[in-house]
Amino acid sequence: MQHPKSQQSPYPGKRALIFVVLALCALVAGFFVFLQSTQDEKPAIDPIDSGFARSMLLHHAQAIQMSMMMRDAASPEIQALAQSIIMKQTREMGVMEGWLTAWNEPVMLDGPPMAWVENATNVRHLDDQLYQAQCKADGGAMAGVATPEQLEELKNATGTEKEIIFLELMLAHHRAAIPMAWFANRNGESSLVKALASSMIREQGMEIGWIQLKLQQLKKS
């Protein structure tokens, strides 16, 4: 006696296919949830790191502006200094702007440029505490920045007078940059920022020594 054949689906692989499709959908959905969670868990950029990059971009921009005024308008020694500043600080500006872009941070922010120093917490080094107090006293303004009147004076000067004005403005500019770099070096989190700040301290410190000696020579002549 033959048993009747059990009824089967006319598409025996359909259920398996549906199962595979559903499993793949679940896997893809899980992958996107994982990506979103890793993005959500991405640590925020330290405000000292981003603040230093923004402020030093502004600071470098004016140093380059002043140095450009000395091209073909000064002794070979001072032209060499100006050209060195243009090259080094243009490269550093590119590096810092690249950081801000990679961090999804704005290159410019409204408000006082040194607010990142004013608002920093857990500042332990005495020099940094004094620098923070000075920034607060200045209302978050950036020290060492030449005024529009000083830039106009530099632009219109000639000869030795132009060289002296340039060196005096650049001396004040460098002296203001060094405590900013030390603050980022000691209080920031990014090893990249710390390394660049350390390089600025070293290179601009050497330039300060040269500028001081050159100013003495020019003022005696």
Task: Give the separation between CA 16 and CA 18, rounded to whole angstroms.
Answer: 5
* Over residues 51-60, mean pLDDT: 97
* Over residues 49-66, mean pLDDT: 97
Q: Does residue 34 carry a pLDDT above 50?
A: no
**What pLDDT score does 88 carry?**
97
- pLDDT tens for residues 78-118? 999 999 999 999 999 999 999 999 999 999 999 999 999 99
Give 41 or 196, the one with higher predicted confidence. 196
Dihedral, 131, 114, 171, 74 alpha carbons, nearest 10: 170
**What pLDDT score does 16 carry?**
46
Give, in order, the Cα–Cα distances in Å from 159 to each of 27, 74, 217.
73, 7, 14
Q: Does residue 35 carry a pLDDT above 50?
A: no
Task: Give the separation between CA 195 and CA 52, rounded to whole angstroms.
Answer: 13
* Over residues 160-172, mean pLDDT: 97
Radius of gyration of the chain (CA): 29
Give 36 or 51, the one with higher predicted confidence. 51
On whether the pTM is more than 0.75, the answer is yes
**What pLDDT score does 43 carry?**
64
Asked if 201 and 171 count as a contact pair (C-beta separation under 8 A), the reply is no
Least confident of 17-21, 87-91, 176-180: 17-21
What whole-number percentage of the chain has pLDDT above 70?
81
**What pLDDT score does 44 carry?**
84
**What pLDDT score does 10 carry?**
42
**What pLDDT score does 20 carry?**
47
Residue with tokens 């990679």: 102
Q: Does residue 212 carry a pLDDT above 50?
A: yes
